[in-house]
Amino acid sequence: MLVLSRKKNQAINIGKNIIITVVDVQGDSVRIGIEAPRSIDIYRSEIYQDILSENMKAISTKQHIVEMLDQDLKSKII
Amino acid sequence: MTECNTVFTFTSGLPGLPEELKEFKFLTLQENSPYYLLQSVDDEQICLILLNPFSVFPEYEFNLPEEEKEKLKLENVQHVAVFCVVNASQGLKNATINLLAPVVVNTNTGLAKQVVLNDKRYSIRHPLFSNSHGGE
């Protein structure tokens, strides 16, 4: 990983279209401004990772899902 | 089960699923059921359960950011459909629903995306049934 030191209001260019600016530093918290094309998705990493792993857990097969929902439907009718 | 030929195209894929999987069949499972199945066209073993969130949480609402509307080429609000991914890996009784990252679909073009909301009201693992602590 490339590590660069930046001060408040200093920025980093990534390629031609992405600029990351250190907007503010308060204790151990850093506010970061990101300028990027609207086509690029920007996520807080821990939230994206959480969604990614939740989707992986949610993967199932058609057969399993159909059986589970059929069972649920039957239990409601009874 | 009624099969229909609706295919959603996730241009940027789905987080956590193989990146090359972009096209998913949208299948209705039971008539009048709020549950649907999202099945990969290229790998039929990969399925997700989708739920119409408004059937369970009628007050569910969010603002779709402009850039997401652009990515979905959404021009008309009437062409929006919203579904949420259900994790029923611990059985349906203990199922949770991802309200923070809904699947938003342009019903006119079939373009779809799992959008990550910046909304503190919603969780990635919201219990689907509030009385789901066993027993009954």
Q: Could you tell me the domains of chain B?
A: 7-127 (2.30.290.10)
A11-14, strands of its sheet edge to edge: A11-14, A18-26, A29-35
- B89 touches A: beta carbon within 8 Å: yes
pLDDT above 90: residue B50: yes
Q: How far apart are CA B125 and CA B80, in angstroms?
A: 23
Tokens found for residue B38: 């999202």
CB contacts of B37 in chain A (<8 Å) are 62, 65-66
Residue of B nearest to A55 (CA): B16
Record: contact B16-A56, CB cut-off 8 A:
yes
The tens digit of pLDDT for each residue in B85-115 reads: 999 999 999 999 999 999 999 999 999 999 9
CB contacts of B1 in chain A (<8 Å) are 66
Q: Under 8 Å CB-to-CB from A36, ≥6 apart: which residues?
A: A17, A18, A19, A42
Reported confidence tier of residue B63, pLDDT bands at 50, 70, 90? very high
Shortest alpha-carbon distance between residue A25 and chain B (Å):
22
Low-confidence spans in chain A with pLDDT less than 50: none
Record: contact A38-B67, CB cut-off 8 A:
yes
Record: contact A55-B67, CB cut-off 8 A:
no
The tens digit of pLDDT for each residue in B118-128 reads: 999 999 999 99
B46-72: average pLDDT? 95
Strand, coil or helix: A18: strand
B31-60: average pLDDT? 94
Can you give the residue ranges of every domain in chain A? 1-42, 43-78
Q: Which of B97, B89, B82 is nearest to B129 (CA)?
A: B97
Strand, coil or helix: B130: coil
What is the pTM assigned to this prediction? 0.90
pLDDT above 50: residue B1: no
Shortest alpha-carbon distance between residue A74 and chain B (Å):
12
